[in-house]
Structure 1
Amino acid sequence: MSPTLQSRAETLGQSLPALLAEAELLAATVMLGEHGRRRAGQGDEFWQYRAAAPGDTARMIDWRRSARSDQTFVREREWQAAQSVSLWVDPSKSMAFSGDTSRPPKAERAQLLALAISVLLLRGGERVGLVGGSAAPRPGRGQILRLATLLAGDQTSEEYGAPTADGMVNHGRALFLSDFLGDLAHVEAALIAAADRGVRGAILQILDPAEEDFPFHGRTIFESMGGGVRHETQQAGDLRDRYLTRLAERKERLSELGRAVGWHVGTHHTGQPAQSALLWAYRALERGQ
């Protein structure tokens, strides 16, 4: 093992326990409680009674409930078949940005949210994995450590991330976490591919407050995290209105892409508590069933 690779492995090994602990704590603070999927099917939880219909067998009839009425009733249970959820967490250099040392980089917040929602989903009996085939959706506690290891080590040399539908399970669900500051044509292609497989899901755009507010004035050098884009100006304040207009247009385009395929779209700032973003993402995936 080379010294560089060994150093990276040691750093990763030290950060994983803290990341996992924080994800577990975050998941625990979201009091979701027990809930059903409210669809008839095989399961253990009672949902409702309904009048018996042609085709119902005698074994399906609840005779005790039927004895109290002139009708015959069937006792339905909630549908509890496990779902497969695929996560894409942008590993690009753009996600390493933080506008203030008091705030986590976007990548760190995205990884935390991905792990926390994995904890919630796996506890609920779902299968969770990563897009791209690096980790197929699986159930069980052991999947958390595998996801944490892959997410913490998943970094690319690309300036901006490009999602993919590779590895998604047909008719499953998916969650994309990114700043979505790159070419949205890649997002559109991934969403179309996902929709062709019957996948529904959610898009969570993660931004630093500085990227939302543009608090720059005077001489400023703007440079991408990978160094591929650089712009110097003497009057940064003069760019603010144009920047905010472009950002609003990008957000609207992202929302349009989501609406076109029935996906939910939200925005989260790294200066905000992670709990609100986790709850939004969880509920968005539930609505995507």
Structure 2
Amino acid sequence: MTAPLSLRAEAHSLSAPLPALLAEAEHLATTVLLGDHGRRRAGTGDTFWQYRPAQPTDAARSIDWRRSARSDANFVQDKEWQIAQSILLWVDQAASMQFQSGDLPSKGARARVLGLATAILLNRGGERVGLTGLRLPPRRGDAQITQMAHILSEQADVDYGAPEVQGMLPHSRALFISDFLGDIAPVEDALLRAADRGVRGALLQILDPQEEEFPFDGRTVFTSMTGALEHETMKAGDLKARYLDRLAARKDRLMQLARTTGWQFSTHHTGKPAIAALLWLYSALERRT
């Protein structure tokens, strides 16, 4: 039986990162001033969208007589179509995301903040947010955001993660955030399966500047974050061209996959401000393809 003091200490250790993650995500989200948003087309809602000429099928009570009095034609107010969507997130929690260089945040830390900040914005806009898999189905509310923060604070003990597609509702939206440096096959499978369900979304690749620059030379030992993979070379500089070619090929493949399945793709570096990536994510999830 676990002693109460030991259990309390363990619980405190597990929950310690949570307030900081929530605070950082909230702060990032508040820099984007967005109110309730509609789907930007006519339909059921309370928000005015546009005036249009009245049609013979329009009821007389729907005519805006004040606007119509300023012209020779009758006009009707169209409202924005406002129906909550379900948006599901997958944020890579594998060991490779723990990599960081210098004083920069780790890829995982940046991914968690961006994923949670995106969820906060979408929740404020009236959407249902959740996580892929079956642990956190899409819902609205602050409690959902808190639960999401708990789950995103966990870490996996594998080198590279793979997207999950379980729990994705037909014609919903999705967001995958990862370095996408592992096996590409699970990513391809997840996107194709999502596309078969009419799911559209965004891929955000997060990389550390060192992974883009490969500033290594001479004797170097490359070790995966779990220590399961290791490669030693006496001439690291000789690997640079091949490495950069493979990285460029991986980006091209991700871009092609996104284009084929109707998704959006972008790369974000941990040395850049997070706000630009958040704005891109929000915009990408708002696009209808």
Sort the TM-score into its range (normalised by shorter chain).
over 0.9
Q: CA deviation at 1:205?
A: 0.1
Deviation for aligned residue 1:56? 2.9
Q: Secondary structure at the match of 2:46?
A: coil
Amino acid paired to 2:133: G
* Deviations 1:249-271 (CA, angstroms, capped at 9, x unpaired): 00000000000011110001111
Q: Is the 8 A contact 1:263 1:288 kept in 2?
A: no
In the TM superposition, what is the alpha-carbon distance from 1:30 to its structure 2 partner?
2.4
- Assess if the C-alpha contact under 8 Å between 1:220 and 1:234 holds in 2: yes
Correspondence 1:61-76 to 2 at 5 A: 61-76=63-78
Name the SS of the counterpart of 1:79 in structure 2: coil
Looking at structure 2, the residues matched to 150 and 184 of structure 1 have their Cα atoms a distance apart, in angstroms, of 24
Contact kept in structure 1, 2:35 and 2:124, CA below 8 Å: no
Query: 2:132 aligns to what?
Result: 131
Cα contact 2:217–2:236 (8 A) shared by 1:
yes
Q: Check 1:7–1:208 CA distance in 2 against 1; reply closer, same or farther (3 A cut).
A: farther
- Give yes or no for the alignment of 1:120 onto 2:121: yes
Q: 1:51 to 1:187 in 2, by over 3 A?
A: same
How many aligned positions are there?
Answer: 287
For the residue of structure 2 that corresponds to 1:162, the secondary structure is coil
Does 1:282 pair with 2:282? yes
Q: Name the stretch that deviates more: 129-138 or 220-229.
A: 220-229
Match of 2:153, SS state, is: helix
Task: Kindly indicate whether residue 8 of structure 2 is the aligned counterpart of residue 20 of structure 1.
Answer: no
Deviation readout 1:197-255 (Å, 9 max, x if unpaired): 21111000001111111010110000111222211000101100100000000000000
Give, in whole Å, the separation in 1 of the partners of 2:166 and 2:11: 27
**Superposed counterparts of 1:109-258, under 5 Å:** 109-153=110-154, 155-258=155-258
Distance 1:52 1:202, change over 3 A: same
Counterpart CA distance in 2 for 1:129 and 1:210 is 32
Q: In structure 1, how many angstroms separate the alpha carbons of the residues matched to 2:10 and 2:111?
A: 20
In the alignment, what sits opposite 2:97? 95
Cα contact 2:39–2:81 (8 A) shared by 1: yes
> Cα offset for 1:121?
0.9
Residue ranges of structure 2 left out of the alignment (5+ in a row): none
* C-alpha distance in 2 between matches for 1:221 and 1:5: 39
Aligned amino acid, residue 264 of structure 1:
Q
1:78 is matched with 80
> In 2, Cα distance between the equivalents of 1:196 and 1:59?
43
Distance 2:7 2:205 in 1: 31
Contact 2:35 2:125 in 1 (8 A): no
Contact 2:36/2:126 (8 A) holds in 1:
no
**Aligned-residue offset at 1:189:** 0.9
CA 1:15–1:236: 2 relative to 1, 3 Å: same
More displaced stretch, 45-54 vs 255-264 = 45-54
| Cα distance change of structure 1 residues 5 and 254 upon mapping to structure 2, 3 Å threshold | farther
The one-letter code matched in structure 1 to 2:169 is V
- Distance apart, 1:111 and its partner CA: 0.6
Q: Secondary structure at the match of 1:137?
A: coil
Superposition CA RMSD, Å: 2.0
- In the TM superposition, residue 8 of structure 1 has moved relative to its aligned partner by 5.1
Deviations 1:106-129 (A, max 9, x none): 111111111111111111111110
Q: Give how far 1:144 is off.
A: 1.1
* Sequence identity (%): 61
Cα 1:94–1:275 change in 2 (3 A) is same
Conservation of the 8 A alpha-carbon contact between 1:173 and 1:288: no
After TM superposition, the score normalised by the length of structure 1 is: 0.93
